[in-house]
Structure 1
Amino acid sequence: MTHRVRHTKQRAAILDTLEAMNRPLSLDEIQVGARERCPGIGERTIFRNLKEMMDEYLLVRVFLPGKPTLYELPTGEHRPHFICRNCDQVFQLPGETPEVMSRYKAPPEFEIDGEDVVFFGRCPACKK
């Protein structure tokens, strides 16, 4: 069964928000940007669209310790993330991260099912 990708003004508002900000965004940040582009769009509509877009591989969910769930556009690569210590924004950095899990032998009582490389520092805006 082929999954049909829907094209709606609500989805366009969500995608435009992610493209314009060019970094992983929280649900709250997506809501603000989507409402600027599509006034009246509701939280449930945004959340439903995010879920459907992840199912269709149009979005990727990002989990980082101490952060709310973030959403970003897929790149086809496993990229590192950067958290600004000043403004607390998260960015996706260019370049693919090396495979770490295959080179690390976890203790037998642990089951590892993923990894993420995270850098910390100051973003370009905060560095000025």
Structure 2
Amino acid sequence: AGERAVLVRARSFMNESGGPVSTVMNFFDVEPDHLVAVHDELDIDFGQLRVKIGGGDNGHNGLKSIRQSIGTGDFHRARFGIGRPSGRQDVHDFVLSGFGSAERKELDLNVELAADAVESLIAHGLARTQQDFNS
């Protein structure tokens, strides 16, 4: 009710997103605890979503870039599960590859779920959003 939000998609590579995120946060005078980074997460199965605040980078260079640029890791994260690669596929190759045909069929619904979770974070806070969305 009356909350202001700015949706930003950096044009940089994910691994270099910290600078643009920091620039936008400074421009709009946003504190780190009001940032929500939506990102892929290897350790969550495809289609699952979890929200949290803070935590490590878990090898995610985009999160590392944001943390380094804003000086803290204490920001909200909407973690969009992509699962781990099967077999011997390299993790780097896996995260840069496209989704399979079965996953593409579910992708729109999953993006909508992530958007709903971000709206819930803004409107209702972390605890309720975790209760409603963490699967």
Q: Same fold (TM over 0.5)?
A: no
Report the structure, 1 or 2, having the larger helix content. 2
Q: TM-score, normalised by structure 1?
A: 0.29
